[in-house]
């Protein structure tokens, strides 16, 4: 059996976020299913109009699954219904853009909650950077072990890797739907983006080439 050496290398890197991923939940209640649908359409239209006035491009806003169902106390059907849906979009990671979005949302009524994450628009570039670092570190470690055994590294005969990326958590702001009031402007979030962590673990197995005696 040919001699081999296997090493595992773990690398973690921090990257400055370049986007803010924003999720806005719309919830509310009306006297019937039809009125709940109409209330939702009105709430969504108001949100999109407010965002557009603040420079958020409508084509980049994605409207998620809409759920309309009887309220729990009336779950057999008929009577009051409630709606819920989520609107998602991205903005550049800039205080001016966060303030603009906050201003738009704060000007609307209740039944709205907002959360956001600082993240990377191109995760692949960050992951490739970390992967290269992990491979380089693994090769250096394997070379030291090979040298200790009086051998040189040959070709890689097996490689495996695991990549993970974590967006930096954002802040949640809520306007209670039952109170029907605007989000307080003095509760606007502080712009303090944390680095996005990307980690990689690589396992490398090299063949060992015995050095020729001189």
Given a contact cutoff of 8 angstroms between Cβ atoms, the answer to whether 93 and 142 are in contact is no
List the strands of the sheet with 151-166, edge to edge.
4-15, 196-210, 151-166
Mean predicted lDDT score pLDDT of the chain: 83
* Predicted model pTM: 0.71
pLDDT tens string, the chain, 214 residues long: the values are 578 999 999 988 888 999 999 999 999 989 888 999 999 999 999 999 999 999 998 889 998 889 998 887 655 656 789 999 999 999 999 999 988 888 888 878 777 888 888 888 888 888 888 889 999 999 999 999 999 988 999 998 998 888 776 655 554 444 444 443 444 545 567 788 888 888 888 999 999 998 875 4
Residue matched to tokens 């020729």: 212
The pLDDT tens digits for 115-159 are: 888 888 888 888 888 889 999 999 999 999 999 988 999 998 998
Provide the 10 A C-beta neighbour count for residue 25: 17
Question: Helical H runs in the chain?
Answer: 33-53, 95-106, 123-148
């Amino acid at each position: 059996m040919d001699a081999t050496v296997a090493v595992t290398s773990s690398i973690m890197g921090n990257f400055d976020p370049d986007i803010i991923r924003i999720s806005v939940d719309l919830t509310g209640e009306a006297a019937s299913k039809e009125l709940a649908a109409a209330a939702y359409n009105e709430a969504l239209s108001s949100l999109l109009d407010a965002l557009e006035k603040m420079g958020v491009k409508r084509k980049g806003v994605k409207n998620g699954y809409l759920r309309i169902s009887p309220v729990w106390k009336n779950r057999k059907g008929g009577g009051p219904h409630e709606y819920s849906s989520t609107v998602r979009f991205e903005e550049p990671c800039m205080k001016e853009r966060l303030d603009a979005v906050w201003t738009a949302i704060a000007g609307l009524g209740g039944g709205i909650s907002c959360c956001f994450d600082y993240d990377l628009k191109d995760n692949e570039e960050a992951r490739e950077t970390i992967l290269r670092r992990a491979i380089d570190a693994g090769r250096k470690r394997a070379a030291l072990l090979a040298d200790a055994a009086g051998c040189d590294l040959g070709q890689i005969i097996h490689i495996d890797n695991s990549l993970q990326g974590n967006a930096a958590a954002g802040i949640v702001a809520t306007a209670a739907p039952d109170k029907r009031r605007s989000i307080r402007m003095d509760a606007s979030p502080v712009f303090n983006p944390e680095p996005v962590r990307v980690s990689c673990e690589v396992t490398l197995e090299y063949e060992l080439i015995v050095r020729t005696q001189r």
